Amino acid sequence: MPLPKRRHSKTRGKKRRTHWKLSGLNLIPCPQCKNPKIAHQVCGVCGYYAGKQAIEIKKKEKKKKKGL
């Protein structure tokens, strides 16, 4: 395999990588609870996927403050 004769500059490497960008998440509203969720994933709020409950979501209980 051939090797480069000279070192590539930092600028040349950065120019080559200008199109390496992250795309945004494809968020859709959950049909069950209407909260935004990632497409083709279980909803993190209600736990439904494709109209069926896939996982059971536990609700967090608020801690009571101890009064003096």
Spans of all domains in the chain? 24-57
pTM greater than the 0.85 cutoff = no
Q: Are 30 and 42 in contact (CB under 8 A)?
A: no
Q: Please tell me the distance from the alpha carbon of residue 59 to that of residue 10, in angstroms, as a whole number.
A: 51
Reported confidence tier of residue 61, pLDDT bands at 50, 70, 90: confident
Q: What is the pLDDT of residue 9?
A: 93
SS3 11: helix
Whether 67 has a pLDDT exceeding 80, the answer reads: no
Quote the CA–CA distance of 42 and 30 in Å, as a whole number: 9
Q: What is the pLDDT of residues 7-57, one digit of tens each?
A: 999 999 999 999 988 888 899 999 999 999 999 999 999 999 998 999 998
